[in-house]
Amino acid sequence: MTDVLIRETRAGDGPDCAEIWREAGRYFAAINPGTFRVPGLDGLSEWFEEVNAVYRDDEDKTVLVAEADGVLIGSVAVSLQEPVDRADRQVQTDLSRRRLHVDGLAVRETHRRGGAVLR
């Protein structure tokens, strides 16, 4: 098992987040190329810097990264969603409650399914 530190993103994490995201794209595109693709590299690191900053500045959102031996090995972006208007008319009962939505989740191929010890 790998010893893993979970932390919020910080400035400079964009390049690693982009690399992890592209690995996830390769994985899912291999399974279903009609639905998934590998994101282009041009501007991706900068885009992650922007997205991570937006999530850091919003109290209802966060991006957490997993770090092992000083290297980012995964990330998860989540947002808090409030109950929807007229939830009583919805089929899904959970729409009447606050929910945590996983906006994105990716783990480096080298660290998938290996287990982790959180610190």
> What pLDDT sits at residue 119?
62
pLDDT, one tens digit for every residue, the chain (119 residues): 678 899 999 999 999 999 999 999 999 999 999 999 999 999 999 999 999 999 899 999 999 999 998 999 999 999 998 888 887 788 778 788 888 999 999 999 988 877 666 66
Compute the distance between CA of residue 20 and CA of residue 106 in angstroms, rounded to an integer. 6
For the domain spanning 2-111, the CATH number is 3.40.630.30
Residue 117 DSSP class: E
> What pLDDT sits at residue 116?
63
DSSP assignment of 83-105: PPTTGGG-S-GGGGS-EEEEEEE
> What pLDDT sits at residue 1?
65
Which residues fall within 8 angstroms of residue 100, CB to CB, at 6 or more apart?
78, 79, 80, 81
Compute the distance between CA of residue 17 and CA of residue 36 in angstroms, rounded to an integer. 18
- The domain ranges of the chain are 2-111
